[in-house]
Amino acid sequence: MLRLTVLLLACAVSLSSSAVVLENGAPILWAQTAGQVTDLPIQNGVLTPDPWHYLNRMSLYRLMIAATDPFMGSMGTTATENPMWGLAMQLGWMLTSGRLADPTGVTTCGHQTGDAMCVSTQSWWGCVNYYAAALPFLSAAQQGFMGAGVQVQMQVPEGVQDYCTTYADCATRYPDAMTKWDAYFQGLKASTESPLPDNEKKDSLLGLYWAAQMASTYASAACSARQSHYSSAEVSFANSWLNSAEYVSAAHFQSSLENSVPFLTPLPGRILQEGDSAPNIADLSQEENHTLYIFSWMKNINSLLGGTLVSLWKSAMCSVTTREKGREMLQQLLLNPSFATSSFLSIVTGMTTSC
């Protein structure tokens, strides 16, 4: 049944003009994930989730969202304001676009001919996402969000050694990422006593959230050797995708379910092959081509300017007001094909003077 569902979703990707990131208004296969901590595998009193199984990995997001929702009052009035919804939907997109499958072809892990729910340890995308799923979950458990004294050890396939699996292990290998996730979860608890108005409280929490997510992204540099399994077009897109996070994080984007959908649906619904060159990839939609083109443009301009576009942008995102403008501008750049890229540069340059 699961394989059929994933097959149907994969077909929907190929037939539609955009990626499939929602199923019945929730991330892919959300209804089949763990609704409570005790639904995860447990061994000798220790939680042992298997992040190499899609449903287990998505369960980490569902449980973190549920555990932190009581602290999300400043984010808005609906039940889907939690910034972790963006990560959950991103994982769903990776599944339906084939990016969690074994790129080497040595196994059938993640392929429709094998175990469709398998997340390959050789997938660069699956590896990068591990740092944005396993690390925050281990931190959330350490900070008491999964229940008092809950211990967690991530499962790892035999013979695979380059992934940290416990809080202590990850804190030793990636101290910056774990410290920043701890700060985010501690900040959520502290926010309930904060006298700040909601808009400032929200901005502050999103600042902590994005600092942690970017620290996870930097830690995922450990995955880089896995890029050798992909075409140069896919590697270029992957690097542009990483680069785009610098802009989104500096603007304190609230990656709620509703806010994330427009940014995720134009992502490419399949792995890019040699010769794919946006905006002229025949079997991808106009929206997918536009997104790939803009991602590439932002990365290339930043490289041409010696990294100063990212620096300029970060400098401009210096206040609650400029970050709000920044979020609006990113929306225009990515979703409005008539928005001139030259306008982006001149506006960013102008914004830095107001800081």
pLDDT 10s digits, 155-164? 999 889 899 9
Instruction: Give the mean model confidence (pLDDT) for residues 12-34.
Output: 79
| CA distances (Å), origin 147, targets 69, 139, 144, 169, 328 | 15, 12, 5, 20, 38
Which pLDDT score is estimated for 2? 55
Q: Would you say residue 11 has pLDDT above 90?
A: no
Residues 209, 182: contact at Cβ < 8 Å? no
Summary mean pLDDT of the chain: 91
* Total-model pTM: 0.92
Q: What is the DSSP letter of 92?
A: H
Question: Taking CA 96 as the corner, what is the angle to CA 94 and CA 98, rounded to the nearest 5 degrees?
Answer: 65
Q: List the structure tokens of 302.
A: 């930043």
Task: Out of 20-24, 74-78, 95-99, 235-239, pick the least confident.
Answer: 20-24
**β-bridge partners, 23:** 26
Question: Taking CA 145 as the corner, what is the angle to CA 144 and CA 151, rounded to the nearest 5 degrees?
Answer: 55
Q: List the structure tokens of 338.
A: 């008539």
Burial of 45 (0-12, 13-18, 19+ CB in 10 A): exposed
| Bridge pairing between strands 42-43 and 46-47 | antiparallel
- Residue 196: how many CA atoms within 13 Å on its side-chain side? 15
Of residues 21 and 106, more confidently modeled: 106
Q: List the structure tokens of 166.
A: 């416990």
Q: Would you say residue 111 has pLDDT above 80?
A: yes
| CA distances (Å), origin 283, targets 13, 15, 98, 164, 289 | 11, 10, 16, 39, 10
Q: What is the DSSP letter of 119?
A: P
Cβ atoms within 10 Å, residue 217? 18
Q: Is 81 helix (H, G, I), strand (E, B) or coil?
A: coil
- Residue 194: how many CA atoms within 13 Å on its side-chain side? 21
pLDDT digits (tens, 9 = 90+) for 285-341: 999 999 999 988 888 888 888 888 889 899 999 999 889 989 998 888 878 877 767
Integer Cα distance of 68 and 76 in angstroms = 14
Residue the block writes with tokens 């290998």:
173
Of residues 349 and 111, more confidently modeled: 111
Q: Predicted confidence band at 9 (pLDDT cuts at 50, 70, 90)? A: low
Integer Cα distance of 148 and 63 in angstroms = 15
Of residues 172 and 21, more confidently modeled: 172
Q: Which has the closest alpha carbon to 23: 36, 39, 10?
A: 10
Integer Cα distance of 241 and 123 in angstroms = 16
Q: List the structure tokens of 221.
A: 């540099």
Integer Cα distance of 129 and 258 in angstroms = 21
Which pLDDT score is estimated for 14? 45
